[in-house]
Amino acid sequence: MIEAGTPAPDFALPDQDGNEVTLESLRGKRVVLVFYPSDFSPVCTDQLNVYQEVIGDFKARGAELYGVSVDSNWCHRAFRAHLGIEIPLLADFHPKGEVAKAYGVWAEGYGVAKRAL
């Protein structure tokens, strides 16, 4: 994982609706990137449900959450609808895991992002 105080690596990823979200578009905001392995897995489902339960606490502190995994934006759209969550989900799909690698949270042996904030 990148060290505290290190500038965040640049990225441009589509969200669940296909809209591009960039680091530049988030400048000036408090943002928490939630890296997780994959949509619809039992633990990731629980993880994102917990974040949804406490999203008000993040908002009260002026922070926005964004989920990031290697699933496609179409998969993210279905996952979000299935869970009924409002957290935007970003697709680190192609090139696969490029952003997770830049942030030092890539699990090479599994081909997914590790769990990280």
Catalytic annotation, residues:
44
> Given the structure tokens 């505290």, which residue do they identify?
4
Tokens of 72: 């496609």
How far apart are alpha carbons 67 and 65 in whole angstroms? 7
- DSSP assignment string, 9-31: PP-EEEBTTS-EEEHHHHTTSEE
How far apart are alpha carbons 91 and 12 in whole angstroms? 10
How far apart are alpha carbons 17 and 6 in whole angstroms? 30
Give the type of residue at 14. P
